[in-house]
Amino acid sequence: MGEGKTHNQQGSADSAAALYAGDISPVSAWDILQAEADAVLVDVRTDAEWAFVGGPDLGALGKELLLLQWQVFPQMARDGAFSQKLDQMLRDCGAGKDTAVIFICRSGARSRDAAISLTGAGYHRCYNLAGGFEGDLDAQGHRGQVNGWKCAGLPWRQR
């Protein structure tokens, strides 16, 4: 696999293990999705982001991207039923508590929270995609050039 776990905002990768499986690079996420038939990628951004920014394209892997908002646009209030909704979606696609579930958002903050939430619901392999879909801002205030799915050159498309 690619780069594996990285240090997260809480400190070491070891302390992250108690909260979720850890942060992984976009290339590591792609490697897991390719290697494990039941691995899933869950995009937790908003409807507006999916519509206007685009998202990962897993067609080459024969997989569908799961879409479930962590926060509901435009109020950006957290969906209190997120874990229950996602649990049902995962069971519907044949995923179990040991399935690799990789979360992605714009830059990695909401997806980290979603990984922690689903870990709390009993899933053991919840990963945060470090850098998210668009990545961090560059020196000119633009995304997509520093890190993240798009910067890594992984497949994506407009919805």
CATH of the domain at 132: 3.40.250.10
Residue 60 has pLDDT above 70, yes or no: yes
Q: What is the dihedral of CA 61, 65, 66, 69, to 10 degrees?
A: 150
Range of the domain at 65: 5-153
Residue 7 has pLDDT above 70, yes or no: no
Q: How many domains does the chain have?
A: 1
Residue 82 lies in a domain: yes
Best CA proximity match to 46, nearest among 78, 19, 22, 15: 78
Residue 159 lies in a domain: no
Residue 29 lies in a domain: yes
Residue 105 has pLDDT above 80, yes or no: yes
Alpha carbons 117 and 7: distance in angstroms, whole number? 19
| Angle separating helix axes 109-120 and 82-92, nearest 10 degrees | 80
Q: What is the rounded average pLDDT for all residues in the chain? A: 89
Q: How is residue 44 written in tokens?
A: 């937790």
